[in-house]
Structure 1
Amino acid sequence: MRRILRLLGVVVLVLVATVVLGTLVPRPLFRGATDEATPRHILVFTNPIHTDIAVPIDEAVLEKFGFLLDAGIEADLSTARYLVFGWGSKAFYIGTPTWSELKPGPVFAALTLDDSVMHVDLAGDIALPQPAVRRFEIGEKGFVAMLDFIDRSFVRGTAGVERIPEVAYGDYDGFFDAHGKFNALAGCNTWTAAALRHAGLTTGWWNPLPATLNWSLGLYNRPLVQSGGVQP
């Protein structure tokens, strides 16, 4: 029993050290030249286990993601201000709209190996500051690179990008098959971190949890003073 407890203790220490180092070691180690173009902004939404990226809607974004309009995502609504993108476990993401609907099967799939999906939602005006939302300024080049990364995450078949039928949390969102396998080590928050690095931000080397991603973003990126009011 003592050997088992020692082994468990070692495993816990290794996991803690890995998470700490994954947060503290920056990725990339060295940042390139700052993009001096007119800055754009994005938002990062956080809950206890998941992060999403909210992209301001304009004509160029609507053109880039026109396939979402074709799939019934009403991004051209007059009240829509952001397209919200998230990547995650297909079984868990689709099977757990609320915590009250949590089931062992989707949890097991998310902790082992699962197919992935993109979840797309709409958001209106966002009042800042608030604890679950962070705003970042990025250059135009980084903004375009991040959109390309998000776009490449969608699976395209012979008919292009197709929405998963009859699956949604509400009236304005939808799910789409995505590239990559989901597992506990490379999950939704590591996808968000990769997208943010394409945008020109620095994250930790490995950020499996929203908390570690937020810590690393605060460590390595210039903080933006958020005044009260509604964004954008």
Structure 2
Amino acid sequence: MKRVLKLIGKIILILISIPLLYFLIALILSTITVNQKQVYSKETFVYLNTNGVHLDIIIPKEKINPSLLKDLEVNKNATYFSFGWGDENFYLNTPQWKDLTFKNAIKALFLKSSTLIHLTTYAEVHPNWIKIEVSQQQLSTLNNYIEKSFYKNAESKKVILPNKGYSYNDNFYKATGNYTCFFTCNTWVNSAFKEAKLKACLWTPFDFGLMNKYSN
């Protein structure tokens, strides 16, 4: 009986230790900055935003590649395009944090799952957005990174999910890649910044890791 209890105790300890270790490593790697020294000229800009948990990259319409704009169903008055990437089930079944269930959270974090691009459009800049100055080359890299994240069908067209948006100004599109606890919605944005040689975290699954790099 003692052996059984000891074994159960070890299993419980391991189950507790794994998420704690994950968060500890994530916090440490989030504080390490890559591309700290910016050698590119500041010729244009994009924006970074978070809803408190989930990061988005926001690009003015006139700075978006025509190939990225192609097939996007948006309001003609839209002037700012906000791109996010994430778990399909989580996006569609958790429109607000009050809708979050334990089952959906576990599935998103620990099961390799299909993904969506969440596109939200705005008519004007919001005060909570962080403006980030970039070069034309860095802007081009961000455009290409986002475009590659859209799944395209046999006709090379982006695939929208009809009537699945939360409001009049947003839509979901099928995306490439899988969501895991090692590559989250925020890792996607951080990876975009790393690829564009912008200041970024070594790795982060959180929104605050990257936000802190640009909040000062």
Question: Same fold per TM (> 0.5)?
Answer: yes
Q: TM-score, normalised by structure 1?
A: 0.78
Q: d(CA) in 1 for partners of 2:68 and 2:52? A: 28
Distance 2:121 2:89 in 1: 22
Secondary structure of 2:146 counterpart? helix
Residue equivalent to 2:57: 53
Q: State the number of aligned residues.
A: 207
Equivalent residue number for residue 115 of structure 1: 114
Look up the match of 2:80: 82
- Quote the Cα distance in structure 2 between the aligned partners of 1:17 and 1:23: 10
Does the residue aligned with 1:190 lie in a helix, a strand or coil? helix
Alignment of 1:31-46 (within 5 A): 34-36=39-41, 39-46=43-50
Q: Secondary structure at the match of 2:159?
A: coil
Q: Taking every aligned residue pair, what percent have the same amino acid on both sides?
A: 21
* Equivalent residue number for residue 173 of structure 1: 170
Structure 1 unmatched ranges of 5 or more: 224-232
CA distance in 1, matches of 2:51, 2:118: 15
* Equivalent position of 1:64 in the other structure: 67
Aligned amino acid, residue 15 of structure 1:
Y
After TM superposition, the structure 1 stretch with the greater mean CA deviation from structure 2, 160-169 or 49-58, is 160-169
- Assess if the C-alpha contact under 8 Å between 1:35 and 1:140 holds in 2: no
| Letter matched to residue 151 of structure 2 | V
AA partner of residue 152 (structure 1):
K
- The 8 Å contact of residues 138 and 200 in structure 1, kept in 2 or not, is answered as no
- Give, in whole Å, the separation in 1 of the partners of 2:134 and 2:96: 32
d(CA) in 2 for partners of 1:57, 1:66:
8
Q: Partner amino acid for 1:196? A: F
2 CA distance for matches of 1:7 and 1:105? Answer: 21
Distance (Å, rounded) in 1 between the aligned partners of 2:104 and 2:203: 24
The TM-score with structure 2 as length reference comes to 0.83
Structure 1 40/103 Cα, relative in aligned 2: closer, same or farther at 3 Å? same
Structure-2 change in CA distance of 1:149 and 1:52 (3 Å): same
- C-alpha change, 1:121 and 1:49, in structure 2 (3 Å) is same
Q: CA RMSD in A?
A: 2.5
